[in-house]
Structure 1
Amino acid sequence: MENLPKKVRSKKLNTSVDLTAMVSVSFLLIIFFMLVGELSKPKGIDLSLPNNEPICNPIACIDGNRLYTILLDDDDKIITYSGLLRYPVEIPKEVKFGKNGIRTEVFLKKKEIFEYMSALGKPKSGVIIIIKPSEKSNFKNLVDILDEMKIAKIDAYAIVNEFTPEESNLLASK
């Protein structure tokens, strides 16, 4: 019995997983998703509170004197007015595309409203332009107007496709 080979028992090693790298990766992922979530939030525009003839909705109130509306129609026709059409700051007028047309008008309106708001002590509140293309206007006209907004460095503008009855009548008459 002495010659029998002894059973060799293998030593059982303690297996342990080092989770240090996993913790580092998880913290990096948490930081990444928090940063992406914060950066993807929509940015709002400071519309300031009005002084005369406010336009209020559930979100904010704005001074009607800051509004400048551009109506686009067929045959490259542009009609502009300041303020509300019911209480216009200046009467609606027809202008043309180009450097001596709508571009000059936008620059003048930007300067005029800047001076008006500076006098009220709110120099950071500038012009708000509302662009309203009609169903008859073409896509090129809309792109041209957006180019003019970029050239004039207009920060606050909106494209709206709803016409008031007064605006529809104005387009039909001119």
Structure 2
Amino acid sequence: MAEIQDNGGKKKGSKQKKMNIRVDFTPMVDMNMLLITFFMLCTSLSKPQTMEISMPSNDKNITEEQQNKVKASQALTLLLADNGKLYYYEGEPDYKDYTSLKEITYGADGLRKLLLRKNYDAITKVRELKQKKANLELNEEEYKKQVAEVKSGKDTPTVIIKATDKSTYKNLIDALDEMQICSIGKYVIVDITEGDQFLIDNFSSRGELSQQIVNKNV
């Protein structure tokens, strides 16, 4: 509130009164404290996000060679390159044959279509669980538990994401978004190897050579 204080009457020879103006900010402080208290009580704290992982089997009858074979058959490696390019290969890498590398896009007709095909069974089960939750057949805790078990099943794919130095954070975020959309429960981000970089470089060189041949024929 603003207050005006009068120092008294006119002085002799003075044509104007002198007034002291004081602004009281006490109500503003009270209002700010009320707002802070309101937001503290109404705002929910951010919850930490965790990623489900599948533990190795305790079955001693399974040999190491069989385990590696299963892991290789379920592995899908994504290579994030420059200029928004995305490459992938399935199973173990064949660094001697750069034609094993395939190019794909980040769109729905590219990476998402590939992941949906690889993780079809798990996606179908997750949709069934969502429907059960909507029908109140499952509560929130049971739903999350069963979804985590489905995503981390032994028949689900494992996606390995490797980004080059020239890729962008947007490329990485786009790839991670597809993991959530396609219900991929097992994925990891690791450093790219020299062999992977060799595949990318030779793939790009092959594309440039093919374009030069086409231009020459034209």
1:173 equivalent in alignment to 2:173: no
Letter in 2 for 1:91: S
1:131 equivalent in alignment to 2:161: yes
Counting strand residues as a fraction of each chain, which structure ranks higher?
Answer: 1
* Cα offsets for 1:37-67 (capped at 9, x unmatched): xxx9x98722445663618xxxxxx621111
Match of 2:172 in 1: 142
Cα 1:51–1:66, aligned 2, differ >3 Å: closer, same or farther? Answer: farther
Match of 1:74 in 2: 82
Q: How does 1:20-169 map to 2 (within 5 A)?
A: 45-49=53-57, 52=66, 54=68, 63-86=71-94, 91-111=100-120, 124-125=153-154, 126-161=156-191, 163-169=192-198
CA apart distance, 1:70 = 0.4
- Larger RCO: Structure 1 or Structure 2 (Cα < 8 Å, ≥ 6 residues apart)? 2
CA apart distance, 1:112 = 8.2
Letter in 2 for 1:52: Q
C-alpha separation in 1, matches of 2:119 and 2:168? 26
CA apart distance, 1:95 = 0.3
C-alpha separation in 1, matches of 2:83 and 2:66? 36
Corresponding residue pairs, total: 118
CA apart distance, 1:111 = 3.2
- After superposition, the CA RMSD in angstroms is 3.3
TM-score for both structures, normalised by structure 2: 0.47
C-alpha separation in 1, matches of 2:179 and 2:51? 19
TM-score for both structures, normalised by structure 1: 0.58
CA apart distance, 1:71 = 0.4
Secondary structure (helix, strand or coil) at the match of 2:53 reads coil
Letter in 2 for 1:168: Q
Cα 1:97–1:43, aligned 2, differ >3 Å: closer, same or farther? Answer: closer
* Cα offsets for 1:95-123 (capped at 9, x unmatched): 01101011101111223899xxxxxxxx9
Q: Percent identity?
A: 30
